[in-house]
Amino acid sequence: MATQAKQGNAKTEPGRQSLKSAATRARLIDATIRCLVQHGYANTVTPMVAAEAGLSRGAMLHHFASGDALIRATIVELHERRLKAFRRASQAHVGDVRAMVRDYWQQLQKPGFIAFQELAMAARTDAALAEILLPLQAELTQKFQALAGQLYPDWVQEPERLRLAMALSQILMEGIQIASLTGAMDKSLIEPLLDFLEMSVIALRPGQGTGMTMKTEQ
Amino acid sequence: MATQAKQGNAKTEPGRQSLKSAATRARLIDATIRCLVQHGYANTVTPMVAAEAGLSRGAMLHHFASGDALIRATIVELHERRLKAFRRASQAHVGDVRAMVRDYWQQLQKPGFIAFQELAMAARTDAALAEILLPLQAELTQKFQALAGQLYPDWVQEPERLRLAMALSQILMEGIQIASLTGAMDKSLIEPLLDFLEMSVIALRPGQGTGMTMKTEQ
DNA sequence: ATAAAAAAGCATGCAAGCATGTTTTTTTGT
DNA sequence: ACAAAAAAACATGCTTGCATGCTTTTTTAT
């Protein structure tokens, strides 16, 4: 639905000037993300998105048959961004735990994460949203896992600890961000927590004993 | 405004026959919490709460002048429950890290946490809610901190590590719960993460080295 | 190549549904 | 009988989806 083919001709594949349509759709999706960040999912209503995109509401409904369709497209877009960023980050600094932690932390600062979190919370009580989101969440977790094993071949010997390290990183960093956003935590604790996370992940690497060991290695 | 005084008499402090009013208010607040859990903040509307409480909407508005007032009262109620549970837990098992972790984890399973999380997320983009919630969040964090120093006197020598241990416990456990609720995490990882948290907190106790040390002590 | 035809993008207006708060009426309890 | 509690009725505002008309671009045909 997001990338519906524009009467594709066999001749010139570039969709001509009606690629303007794609641009407009992108503008609407971006506007949706901005609204999710600034006003939250519950207050993101169609007139607001249209205004944010600089379009009339009618025009918006021309591109997305309903508000639901827009949200669906936005979810797909956010998911693709997540996958792309994740792939980029993991390939950029292989084996460098500190860099990967910081990189993922940077990702969580971007509007995309807040928007996604809004949708994820909403999906908890919205069956239609959950139907779209849950499979994507599962897909992400799986690719996360797969790529991790690929980047740390020696870690695969201890899959439990690898899974633990991945989950710890994801959950703790996202938890920090959410707590910061909701005022449940003092910001001054962010850095110490990230440092601690780095140490923990390093300690979980193979050949570091069953528990944890101090070591400013790497 | 939340706990609007019921024409308090100077005479007999027991509210006589109209203590039934208090019961009704409590029923409304409980119904609100249930709605928050089952339908989320955005979909928690006044007719729904009234139905859940077994009252007419008119009756409900008799006890709480507006939907906002109800939400405010619910927030205060949740906050008091949090404080009470926290105090009980910390006094029950002094010095027992494992027990305290598990106890707080049990707290997070109760509807109160989900309801509070819904409100906290909503407060991010709702100034009125934030005005009520943020001070309470700060108060809780502060009392958390104070009581911790009281329970672990020897830990106060290293306040940084105490703060870190407290934050780590809170953030990680709440993060696990949120991730579970939103489907961002496989449930099979919960136990390993909690175990890891216990070890980490123990390792952060004073006299355990700068980093971490394996030790099934406690 | 140019004009007519078709299609797509875009804007405005309208009616229905729903949640909110206020007001009025009925019931209950002392 | 009187006051509080509960229910019902009412009026307002907002969001949504649909339908209508206008403009621009692309295609088709002579």
Please spell the DSSP secondary structure of chain A, one letter per residue.
-TT---S--SS--S-GGGGHHHHHHHHHHHHHHHHHHHHTTTT--HHHHHHHHT--HHHHHHHSSSHHHHHHHHHHHHHHHHHHHHHHHHHHSTT-HHHHHHHHHHHHHSHHHHHHHHHHHHHTT-HHHHHHHHHHHHHHHHHHHHHHHHH-GGGGGSHHHHHHHHHHHHHHHHHHHHHHHTT-S-GGGHHHHHHHHHHHHHHTSTTS-SS-B-----
Q: Does nucleic acid strand C have an atom less than 7 angstroms from the CB of A8?
A: no
d(CA A112, CA A91): 21
Q: Per the structure block, which two tokens stand in for B154?
A: 């020897």
Residue B76 has a pLDDT of 96
- How far in angstroms lies nucleotide D28's C1' from the CA of residue A3? 27
pLDDT confidence band for A98 (50 / 70 / 90): very high
Least confident of A73-77, A161-165, B94-98, B185-189: B94-98
Shortest Cα distance, chain A CAs vs residue B7, angstroms:
35
Residue closest to A197 by CA, chosen among B79, B175, B133: B175
Q: Does nucleic acid strand C have an atom less than 7 angstroms from the CB of B68?
A: yes
Span A28-51, mean pLDDT?
95
Q: Cβ of B151 under 8 Å from any chain A Cβ?
A: no
Which nucleotides on strand C sit less than 7 A from a protein beta carbon? 7-13, 18-24, 29-30
Q: Which residue of A has its CA nearest to B215?
A: A211
pLDDT tens, B138-161? Answer: 999 998 888 888 888 889 899 999
Residue A11 has a pLDDT of 36
Residue B132 has a pLDDT of 95
- Is it the case that residue B1 has pLDDT exceeding 90? no
Residue A145 has a pLDDT of 86
d(CA A71, CA B113): 27
- Is it the case that residue A156 has pLDDT exceeding 80? yes
Residue A191 has a pLDDT of 97
Q: Which nucleotide does the CA of B23 lie closest to, via C1'?
A: D5
d(CA B181, CA B46): 25
Q: Does nucleic acid strand C have an atom less than 7 angstroms from the CB of B208?
A: no
d(CA B48, CA B54): 10
Span B76-94, mean pLDDT?
89
pLDDT tens, B32-67? Answer: 999 999 999 999 999 999 999 999 999 999 999 999
d(CA B165, CA B202): 9
Q: Which residue of B has its CA nearest to A138?
A: B184
Residue A18 has a pLDDT of 64
Chain A (40-79) residues lying within 8 Å, Cβ to Cβ, of chain B: 40-43
- Is it the case that residue B2 has pLDDT exceeding 60? no
Q: Cβ of A126 under 8 Å from any chain B Cβ?
A: yes
Least confident of A12-21, A131-140, B36-45: A12-21
Residue A88 has a pLDDT of 87
Residues 6+ apart with CB under 8 A from A57: A46, A47, A50
Taking the mean position of all CA atoms in its chain, how far away is CA A24?
23
Residue B19 has a pLDDT of 67
pLDDT confidence band for A179 (50 / 70 / 90): very high
Amino acid at A121: M
CA angle B188, A127, A108 (to 5 degrees): 60
Chain B (7-46) residues lying within 8 Å, Cβ to Cβ, of chain A: 38-43
- Is it the case that residue A104 has pLDDT exceeding 70? yes
